[in-house]
Amino acid sequence: MAALLGACDTRTTPSASDSTSSGDGASNVDTAPGIDGGSAPDLAPGPDHGLVGLSCVVATRTDVCCPVPRAAAMQDLAVDPCLVPYPAKSGDVTAACQAKRPDCSLVDCAPADAPSRVAKPVNGSCAFVDECATAADCAVALDFDRTCCVCPQAVPRALLAQKRCLQEIIGSQWPSAPSGCEQLPCGAACKCAPPPTLRCETDGDALARCAAAP
């Protein structure tokens, strides 16, 4: 996916606040058109990405060199095909978004992880929020959305009702892929760890996250 999103060489390392640009004037970093006060690009509306009943979602851009996860309104994803659910997956980068992305050959992107996988409306705008208060707010699930090795993972329980390709493992019953959820072919046999024991992980001022207990 790194190749799709344009993380490349080791000359410069822009941050989310940088404003460097390529020779044609296009920004090398994530300036979030259509979300942070900019105008939405003139592109065809995007797909629903298998998301259900969401007003806010954790999203990323596919038309910049160094995408930064952000809490975004679903209505913005509906009109901007270059804004997709985080993390971006195979098939999320359209030809139009690929054409809009500047030359990233001299850009070295620092990792940018989402502080939470859950976004909700807060004071009139979308914001990252805690994934959990206790381990009961977490679940062990399989992600069938364009995933090669579908292995058990700790996820916020709130996502189960929102992402139809994310299916909970209940006891010894492993779910099957829902209709329309695509599993990618794997080049090698998958070796999944056993389903993890869950915990709600807190670390100082960071948002609480669902994680596997050590």
pLDDT tens per residue across span 177-210: 898 887 777 767 788 888 999 999 998 889 999 9
- Report d(CA 90, CA 67) in Å as an integer: 16
Q: pLDDT tens digit string along 32-49?
A: 333 333 333 333 334 445
State whether residue 76 is helix, strand or coil.
Answer: helix
- How far apart, in whole angstroms, are the C-alpha atoms of residue 6 and residue 101? 8
Residue with tokens 């990252």: 128
Average pLDDT over residues 66-92: 91
Partners of 167 in beta bridges: 142
Task: Count the helices and strands in the chain (H runs, E runs).
Answer: 3, 10
Q: CA 113, 150, 91, 43: dihedral to nearest 10 degrees?
A: -50
Residue in the block written with tokens 């940088």: 18
Give 213's DSSP letter.
-
- Whether pLDDT at 10 is above 70: no
* Residue of 166, 27, 45 whose CA lies nearest to 94: 45
Q: pLDDT category, 11, cuts 50, 70, 90? A: very low
Residue 114 exposure: Cα atoms within 13 Å on the Cβ side = 23
